[in-house]
Amino acid sequence: MAYEKPVRAILREFAATKSQGEVFTRADMRAWLQANYPNVRLNTFDRQTTALTTNIESRKFWNPKPVEDDVFFRLRPNAGDLRLYDRASDPTPIYATNGAVIQSEPEDIEEISELPEGGSSQRFALEHHLRDFLAKDVSLIEPGMKLFSEIEGIDGVEVPMGGSRSADLVAVDASGNLVVIELKVSRGHERTLGQLLRYIGYAAKEYASGRKVRGIIIASEISSDLRLGVEPLVAGGFDVKLMTYTLTFGLSPA
């Protein structure tokens, strides 16, 4: 039977195996994860490790909660060696830019066992497969495009967009503009547009440094309502593109 557990809870479980002052690496953490929770995605685990590491600047994008999420301390800049955070001697943890914690939906849940039966779970899995496939080479979307990786701890996949929200992909196009990419494994509906516009606004504020930010929605099918919603935006000069993908499957004699 499948069950779910927040990734941050898994990280706190790992932390409980360590003593104060003991040094460990992200590689040690991944090995522990693979031994205890082999179906958790490593990239999600790494991002949530950043969220719980008190002195990494980009943790603020992952909405860390004071005390509860003050778990790790990094020993060297741009390195993977960590220890437990010591509130008595370590610097004050980094939170949101203004020192406040963004109130948001509950933390995303990561599946840590086999997927439950049912269509919605299958769709969830396929959407992540699509995301991971495109992340390997975003130039498939547009020539010259590459993943956004200018901020430590953010690699262009599941990019934080305030609170517990994250965009599927954020890329840099051939002209240097930021591109927020939202994926729908089946049909793209009009509500996807509102989500994308919010992410574009957040990216413009937090990541763009004055650059243009545009958006792309990729789905297997685009609904008529979504097309209607995008048309006046495009007519007004807002850069949102709709794309569809197709999958092919074939068999041949061995």
List the domains of the chain with CATH numbers.
Answer: 4-84 (no CATH), 117-244 (3.40.1350.10)
- Residue 49 in this model has a pLDDT that exceeds 60: yes
- Please provide the size of the chain in residues: 254
Structure tokens at 21: 């002052």
Structure tokens at 29: 């953490």
Share of the chain above pLDDT 90, in %: 52
pLDDT for the residue numbered 4: 62
Structure tokens at 27: 């590689």
Structure tokens at 5: 């557990």
- Residue 123 in this model has a pLDDT that exceeds 70: no
- Residue 200 in this model has a pLDDT that exceeds 50: yes
Q: How far apart are CA 254 and CA 251, in angstroms?
A: 9
pLDDT for the residue numbered 188: 61
Q: Are 234 and 240 in contact (CB under 8 A)?
A: yes
H helix runs in the chain, sequence order: 7-15, 26-36, 42-51, 119-135, 190-206, 224-235
pLDDT for the residue numbered 1: 34
| Burial annotation 203-227 (CB, 10 A radius, 16+ → b, else e) | bbebbeeeeebbbbbbbbebbeebe
pLDDT for the residue numbered 210: 93
- The arithmetic mean of pLDDT across residues 1-9, rounded, is 70
Structure tokens at 205: 């504020």
Q: pTM for the complete prediction?
A: 0.72
The secondary structure of residue 61, as a DSSP letter, is G
pLDDT for the residue numbered 243: 93
pLDDT digits (tens, 9 = 90+) for 146-196: 999 998 888 899 899 987 788 999 999 999 999 999 998 776 677 889 999
- Residue 118 in this model has a pLDDT that exceeds 80: no
Q: Which helix (H) or strand (E) holds 218?
A: strand 213-222
Q: Residues near 5 by Cβ (< 8 Å), separated by ≥ 6?
A: 37, 109, 110, 112
Q: Are 57 and 97 in contact (CB under 8 A)?
A: no
Q: Are 223 and 187 in contact (CB under 8 A)?
A: yes
pLDDT for the residue numbered 176: 96
Q: Are 53 and 37 in contact (CB under 8 A)?
A: no
Q: How far apart are CA 129 and CA 119, in angstroms?
A: 15
User: Chain centroid to CA 198: how far?
Assistant: 15
In the block, which residue shows the tokens 């850069």? 239
